[in-house]
Each structure stands twice: as C-alpha cells, then as structure tokens.
C-alpha cells in the first residue's frame, strides 16, 4: 500500500515555490506586512 504523501520536489515548487507566488499578489502582501521570509 502506498502512503498518502508522495514527495515530489518539482511539483512542490510548481505549486508553492517563488514563481508560483509571483503570479499572485501573495508576495506583495507579505512584503507589505514586513515578513522576513517571503516564501519557502
């Protein structure tokens, strides 16, 4: 039986990485808030 979580670095980056966030206003919101780290 396969486990639920099958880690995949490329898929993770595509959905949660810097360039994924760049398209939305996620990064700007976090900049406005003054976050130390903008994304993972």
pLDDT of residue 30: 94
* Parent domain of 38: 11-40
Higher pLDDT, 10 or 39: 10
pLDDT digits (tens, 9 = 90+) for 4-36: 999 999 999 999 999 999 998 999 999 999 999
For 32, how many CA atoms within 13 A lie in the half-sphere containing its CB? Answer: 5
The pLDDT, as a whole number, for residue 39 is 84
Spatial CB neighbours of 29, under 8 Å, sequence gap ≥ 6: none
1 located within any domain: no
Does residue 27 belong to any structural domain of this protein? Answer: yes
Residue 28 lies in a domain: yes
Instruction: Work out how many domains the chain is built from and give that number.
Output: 1
Position 40 confidence tier, pLDDT thresholds 50, 70, 90: confident
* Cβ-based neighbours of 19, under 8 Å, separated by 6 or more: 13
- Whether 26 is covered by a domain: the verdict is yes
CA distance 38 to 7: 22
């Amino acid at each position: 039986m396969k486990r639920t979580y099958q880690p995949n670095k490329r898929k993770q980056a595509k959905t949660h990485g810097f360039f994924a966030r760049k398209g939305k206003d996620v990064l700007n919101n976090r900049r406005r808030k003054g976050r130390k780290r903008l994304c993972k």
